[in-house]
A and B are shown apart, each in its own frame.
Chain A
Amino acid sequence: MLLNVQNLNVMIPTQGGPLHAVQDVSFSVSKGETLCIVGESGCGKSVTALSLLGLLPKSAKRSASRMTFDGQDMITMSDKQIRALRGNRLSMIFQEPMTALNPLHTLGRQLTDVYMAHRRGNREAARQRAVYLLERVGIAKAAERLGQYPHELSGGLRQRVVIAMALMCEPELIVADEPTTALDVTIQAELLRLLAELQKSMGLGMIMITHDLGLVSRIADRVVVMYAGQVIENALAKELFENPKHPYTRALLGSVPDPSHPRMQPLPSIPGTVPSLVQKMEGCHFRDRCAFASEECRVPIPLVGVGAEHVARCIKTGAQAPNARSTAP
């Protein structure tokens, strides 16, 4: 197992009180495996990603009962040790390609800086690696591009550069935080195909953070569904799409727009809004929006096994009738 996270908690102090952004989140990724973390905005998926690399804001507090990367304990790791991992064996791709690159340095300089930070090699070796990777991510005239600045490139090209940057030191695991959200749809599809292809050929483990279920269905080996700071379901991708157990997962799958949906009719959606995480909630976080909620849902609900390698945080998974709106692809 490459990455193993058990009972991750992140608390961020705010004006209104401590915000429990991530609560008891556990998951693991093996070499070459793709884990998708799915959930709506504010469910804690990005904070989870940042906490893996130790990139949380200084005021945030992180704790976990276990957090290992390739057997090394990440909780007790010094800043220097975690920095040696970052960009080297554990890399990250961010959401906003327009602002993710330093405007004052050439692409070549930024790419080689990553290499030089971790390898003893010289600039020339770094440059060759940069040219090779830029070609791999589909950038023509790579050698010339090295002398260019970020503002001379389109968003799609910049995101390719960001991907190349993350791959500079042949990482074993890549955390991609909604890497295609800011791009238009045709480029999204192209970049996803590229990521999947790179992952396969390089044997990368990948954690893909997203809210796009269509994307998940195409690339995920395993899916973690998060809601309001908690993991509410964790299953192999096939199992999750065919046999979703948690009412939230089912509602989420039911909200995927279907082309055969009658025109001018409201699209299916989940009523209500995500609860604030400033006050710690007892019981099921989805209770107020759930059609099956009852008094029993007011006590803390553990993740329970509902199938082979399949857990859900719900006490009603077995009893109730399946959601009629569920449209598993």
Chain B
Amino acid sequence: MLNYALRRIFMACLLALFVSFLTYALIFTAGDPAAAIAGSASTAADAENIRQIYGFDDPLIVQYLRWVGNVLQGDLGNSLYFRQPVSEIILSRFAVTAQVGIFALIFAMLIAVPLGVAAGRWPNSLIDRGALFIAVVGQAVPSFWFALLLIIVFSITFPILPSSGLGTWRHYVLPVLVLGYFSMPAIMRLTRSGMISALETDYIRTARAMGLSERRVLFDYALRNAALPLISLSSAQFGFMLAGSVVVESVFAIPGAGRLAWESIGRADLPTVQALVLCFSLFYVLLTLLADMLNAALDPRMRMK
């Protein structure tokens, strides 16, 4: 297990490094950062001047290594818009996004897993059809539209929940609903198909032939096996949620990293965008690593590899 963990961690570090380079390079292809900093009223000479000050005239790889070196020392550069260190700005923003994301994932799993288990246990039953309906709607409805719909119903028609900002737990309800509903269908359908195939296996038949209780067969033997792909999917879904947070945070005016990213792109605030992309990708790599570890903890065959 330790061997496996060390290998996965090493791979994750390599992946993180690769992703960071890719995102760094991609942002440079988006336009001339010097011109963006100089602004529209500047001359070519101003831009050239800025280029030299910021080191934009160095080869890309040199700039990248300089940036990585700074990042490793905790220096993510200064925001061009806020005029203060990026690290100070994004930490709290990122915490908000991660918090909403985690609540949303928990909400999604609380609904999706029991529904998926029931649908897999009784395929083509009423509950299976109902779950399918919910899944199709969830997959088809754009989250910004669903968010607006919820605001109209719960903030305007029946004003019981706030429509924007973050303060009390009530502020979290609508964003979590929107984000969670978005990732629920995939989790639910995978739980269902996983349960159906697990319940058809020989070892479930053995368990039944040995007189184990239906609860043990369903949750301990079948669901545990069905959960393996579910863990990987959930970590991927969490990644989608981070992307979805850009929309949801904009609609609900939540001071999160998603909204900051969207605004920073508009302001051409390069250091902030780079830092955010880095954080998002590192977080995603970390999640994948976590999912792998969890899978290995559940599946002895994984640990052998």
Contacts and interface: CB of A to CB of B under 8 A. Distances in A.
Given A94-B202, A96-B202, A103 B209 contact: no
A117 interface: yes
B110 to A, nearest CB: 23
A83 B301 contact: no
B208 A103 contact: no
A152 to B, nearest CB: 8
B299 A104 contact: yes
B203 A102 contact: yes
A149 interface: yes
A99 B216 contact: no
A149 B303 CA distance: 12
Nearest to B227: A104
B213 A117 contact: yes
Interface centre among A83, A84, A88, A162 (most CB of B within 10 A): A83
Contacts of B210: 86-87, 91, 113-114, 117, 165-166, 168
B225 interface: yes
A55 interface: yes
A235 B224 CA distance: 46
B202 A53 contact: no
Nearest to B304: A151
A103 B300 contact: yes
Contacts of B300: 103-104, 149, 151
Majority secondary structure, B binding face: helix
A165 B211 CA distance: 11
A117 B212 contact: yes
A206 interface: no
Nearest to A84: B211
Interface residues of A, number: 29
A153 interface: no
B206 interface: yes
A209 interface: no
A101 interface: yes
Contact of B216 (A84, A85, A96, A117): A117
B107 to A, nearest CB: 27
A83 B217 CA distance: 12
B298 interface: yes
Given A104-B225, A151-B301, A117 B206 contact: no
Interface in A119-174: 149, 151, 162, 165-166, 168
B129 interface: no
6 contacts: A102-B206, A104-B300, A113-B207, A113-B212, A151-B301, A151-B304
Interface of A: 53, 55, 83-88, 91-92, 94, 96, 99-105, 113-114, 117-118, 149, 151, 162, 165-166, 168
Given A83-B213, A91-B210, 7 more contacts: A87-B212, A99-B201, A101-B206, A105-B221, A113-B210, A151-B300, A165-B206
